[in-house]
Structure 1
Amino acid sequence: MDRRSIIKNAGLAGVLAAGAAPALVHAQANLRWRLTSAFPKALDTIYGAAETFAKKVKELSGGKFEISVHAAGELVPTPGLVDAVKNGTVEMGHTAPYYYFGKDETFALGCAIPFGLNSRQMSAWMYDGNGLKLMREFYKQYDIMSFPMGNTGAQMGGWFRKEIKTVNDYKGLKFRVGGFAGKVIERLGGVPQNIPGGEIYQALEKGTIDAAEWVGPYDDQKLGFFKVAPFYHYPGWWEGGPQLDLYINQKAYDSLSPEYKAIVECAAAYAHTEMQAKYDARNPGALKQLVANKAKLVAFPKPVMDAAFKESMALYSELSAKNPNWKKVYEDYSKFRAESNLWFRFTEARFDSFMQGAKL
């Protein structure tokens, strides 16, 4: 009887008794997995987080665990990422969870919701609060294991052909906006548009849409929006701290050795930290260049923010009444948000406000 037959028919005890364990261990020690990204290679910060992760896994495993990273559309289109990981078409995916709120609004809580947590609060809720536990319980419905893997920090509010001065300026506004925010834009009278990043510029230029948001200065500058929509509003009240996630097929994850599971966890945490570090380091210079190219920085007026906040809270109440998944996670999320903001107002916010007004 050959070793394959022994492994197939004898079970672990039989394998050990037959002396075939070394071959089995060797077969498990070298892994080749595939990771599909929800982003194009041109976005070196977001797409790059998956590359950073794969590189770290290879380094920490001594080259035995290799992960090939594939841009959106190479293996799987972005909308199909969750299903591809669930079905085992690929072992891993890297994405913004709120892309899949159409399946269940609860996905958005793992990424960003209007007037939600900032990036530090999001990490705190995930790692030391109940966030990771609650989201993993939700993801079990999709046979997915998750790890936080990146954050952009608070985003800009987007590029507008005409300045937003009052809430009425949203009426009929065709606005390319990603994820869950479109639900609130609709409640303000706007018309949310779902357009891939590579098509936004042409849509703005032709007037097919009136405004568009992407991420922030570093990424926005590459796409050239300032040439056709000069008003650069801030802040992106719908994305105060959007988290990216690493999704892993549950069966594939369960098959990993304890050592490989630890490597995946550590590599994801490293990529998580590095991604926002890159944005925080690169956005200032990009913003200066955008202003030099005549981009007009404009804050959303407070009445506009107040109206958006009111509609957001009303939406969350409605969802809690009809979606038990949402209610379970959002109750904990909202409590954590309130407690965290109480603390931040005395420390981070006051310190930041002073430093940003100081002459250095």
Structure 2
Amino acid sequence: MVTVTSTAKKVLLLLGTVTLLTTASFSSYAADKVYRLKLAETWGPNFPIFGDATKNMAAMAEKMSNGRLQIRIDSSNKHKAPFGVFDMVKAGQYDMGHSASYYWKGKVPNTLYFTTMPFGMVASEQYAWFYHGGGMALMEEVYSPHNLLSFPGGNTGVQMGGWFQKEINSVDDLNGLKMRIPGFAGEVLAKLGASPTNIAPGELYTALERRTIDALEWVGPGLDLRMGFHKVAPLYYTGWHEPATELQFLFNKRSWDRLPEDLQEILRVAMRTASYDMYIQNAHASAEAWETMLNEYPDIQVKQFPESVLTAMKTANDALLAEHAANDAQAKKILDSQAEYLKKARRWTTISDKAYLNSQQTAE
């Protein structure tokens, strides 16, 4: 039997008190630790809507974390590499990025499917695919080998088909056409004889004005009107190529793994909320800008591509999809998932949204 003296009891009690104080102090320190992250965006400073998404996300994350998350945003004028976001985040130069997945198709071809696809899903269908149809898991499969995580970063909805200086009456008019158009749609037009290119947002107007390009697509009225494209290309075509353009928040995986679980969850919520906010903000801005276009700029001519051109685009698109799927097992997996989900979701979109719009038009 061991007898504990009164002195020993005092020592043990003191040690226990010190241990409790040390544990409590450490826990308090961990809870108060500030994590400072750097984000690089493709857009210029104070760029509307797209740039608002990053600012809203950062503000929400800071508030929900009680100041433990501080995110510094560097626009393209600061880091000088609007299309270098992928590389900078991958290398750890930045913890986060905000851009568009299809910009990286030259580096990692299968990234392009996570922005939007011609003749593909609209925004509600695509968001459902991401969060409930397996899209997030497929995106992680593509990005994780590059030390990256990708999250939806804001949707534009259906984009307009672009600003043209000459009317498109037949497929022959696409031959040799120099157009700023990224992603899979650029491949479709190239197959039909056009010369697609990608240009940084800040250089678009100058390229169109100086006839470096013959046409460009950007987003829709909410952003296009501010850019002034109507001053140098009055023909405004309706969309076919980007029915649900989803931007992305990129995250360096090591930076992500260093964060406590509660802060990771706060970021998930902040990014998801900022993405939806961008979607409705763009819808509002486009509705207002469209009204302005109709009333104040009567010289803008709204056009639809002829049926023969749309048919040729769809044929080229289907052929390219088949080619990509045949040459890459991962691409096939993604494209099959999107096609299967679109088939299922479109049945509901047709009998709900489309039927409602048709009935409203009939009633008028």
Q: After superposition, where does 1:127-166 map in structure 2 within 5 Å? A: 127-166=131-170
Match of 2:115 among 105, 111, 135: 111
| Structure 1 partner of 2:341 | 336
Contact 2:42 2:85 in 1 (8 A): yes
In structure 2, what residue type is equivalent to 1:288?
E
Measure how far apart 1:81 and its partner are: 1.0
Contact 1:76 1:84 in 2 (8 A): no
| % same residue | 33
Contact 1:234 1:300 in 2 (8 A): yes
**1:101-134 C-alpha deviation (Å, 9 max, x unpaired):** 1112211111112112111111000011100011
Cα 1:231/1:358, change in 2 over 3 Å: farther
Q: Distance in 2 between matches of 1:194 and 1:212?
A: 9
Cα 1:42/1:59, change in 2 over 3 Å: closer
Q: After superposition, where does 1:7-156 map in structure 2 within 5 Å? A: 19=22, 22-23=25-26, 26=29, 29-75=33-79, 77-156=81-160
TM-score (structure 2 length as normaliser): 0.89
Q: After superposition, where does 1:204-223 map in structure 2 within 5 Å? A: 204-223=208-227
Gaps of 5+ in 2: 1-18
Matched, 1:274 2:277: yes
| Structure 2 partner of 1:325 | 330
Q: After superposition, where does 1:161-310 map in structure 2 within 5 Å? A: 161-235=165-239, 237-291=240-294, 292-293=296-297, 294-310=299-315
Residue correspondences, number = 343
Cα 1:147/1:22, change in 2 over 3 Å: farther
Q: Larger Cα Rg: Structure 1 or Structure 2? A: 2
Measure how far apart 1:180 and its partner are: 2.8
Contact 2:45 2:77 in 1 (8 A): no
Q: Distance in 2 between matches of 1:190 and 1:312?
A: 14
In structure 2, what residue type is equivalent to 1:112?
T
| Structure 1 partner of 2:10 | none
Q: Distance in 2 between matches of 1:84 and 1:357?
A: 52
Q: Distance in 2 between matches of 1:38 and 1:198?
A: 10
Contact 2:44 2:202 in 1 (8 A): no
**1:3-57 C-alpha deviation (Å, 9 max, x unpaired):** xxxxxxxxxxxxx899477347625721111111111234310111011000000
Q: Distance in 2 between matches of 1:136 and 1:269?
A: 16
Contact 1:39 1:78 in 2 (8 A): yes
Measure how far apart 1:179 and its partner are: 2.7
Name the SS of the counterpart of 1:74 in structure 2.
helix
Measure how far apart 1:207 and its partner are: 2.1
Gaps of 5+ in 1: 1-15
Contact 2:46 2:52 in 1 (8 A): no
| Structure 2 partner of 1:312 | 317
Q: Which deviates more, 91-100 or 106-115? A: 106-115
